Amino acid sequence: MDPMKLNIHTIDTAPEGSRATLDGIAGELGFVPNLAAAAAESPVLLEAFDGLRRAAGRTGLDPVHREIAGLATGVAVDNAYGVAFHSTVLDGLGVARSDVDAMRAGAEPSDGAAGAVFAFATALVTGRGRVAPETVARVRAAGLTDEAILELVTECTFAGLVGTIDNLAGRVELDSFLTPRAWTS
């Protein structure tokens, strides 16, 4: 089956209902990521994408844990765009390259708390919300509160939406800053 070909819109080429949201994303980030530009074909999808993006960005999570949850989700749903994005951010946050590469291969990072977050996010996504009690206990033992665990759910949900768009499109072209961390499953 052929993937759905999605245009990479600019603010000027996007449907009228998507332009204000794209303009807001550009104003906040300094550019429009290709994934958002592809979602812009549907103003409703773009609004959902941007709302989840903003909500995930407001969590009180440790930024490394948030990005690990996004990376774990990307690997679990075969999301090349998300894996490249979260790998790039984790590199910038100073996470060891060996740990990022291990996660890209589906393995836990060496840090115990980071490993618990990776295991939780992977279980959440692959189990479609069914997470074994011992996996929840492990992430709690790593110091995450119930609020933080639910904030991981927010990140995983956002990363899952990105993965759905990326997979439906047969892969959205990576932004140039992501190409050094391109990923294939």
Structural domains present in the chain: 63-160+177-181 (1.20.1290.10)
Find out whether 24 and 47 touch, Cβ atoms under 8 Å: no
Find out whether 167 and 73 touch, Cβ atoms under 8 Å: no
The pLDDT tens digits for 61-89 are 999 999 999 999 999 999 999 999 999 99
Contacts of 57 (CB under 8 A, 6+ apart): none
Find out whether 13 and 7 touch, Cβ atoms under 8 Å: yes
Angular region, 8: left φ>0, alpha ψ -120 to 50, beta rest: beta
**Percent of the chain residues topping a pLDDT of 90:** 96
Find out whether 104 and 118 touch, Cβ atoms under 8 Å: no
Q: Which helix (H) or strand (E) holds 34?
A: helix 34-39
- Of 156, 160, 168, 158, the C-alpha closest to 50 is 158
Six-digit token string for 86: 């979260």
On average, the pLDDT of the chain sits at 96
**Average pLDDT of the residues in 5-30:** 95
The pLDDT tens digits for 89-121 are 999 999 999 999 999 999 999 999 999 999 999
What pLDDT sits at residue 2? 63
**Average pLDDT of the residues in 159-173:** 95
Query: What type of residue is 156?
Result: C
Half-sphere exposure of 108 (CA within 13 A, CB side): 14
Query: What type of residue is 38?
Result: A
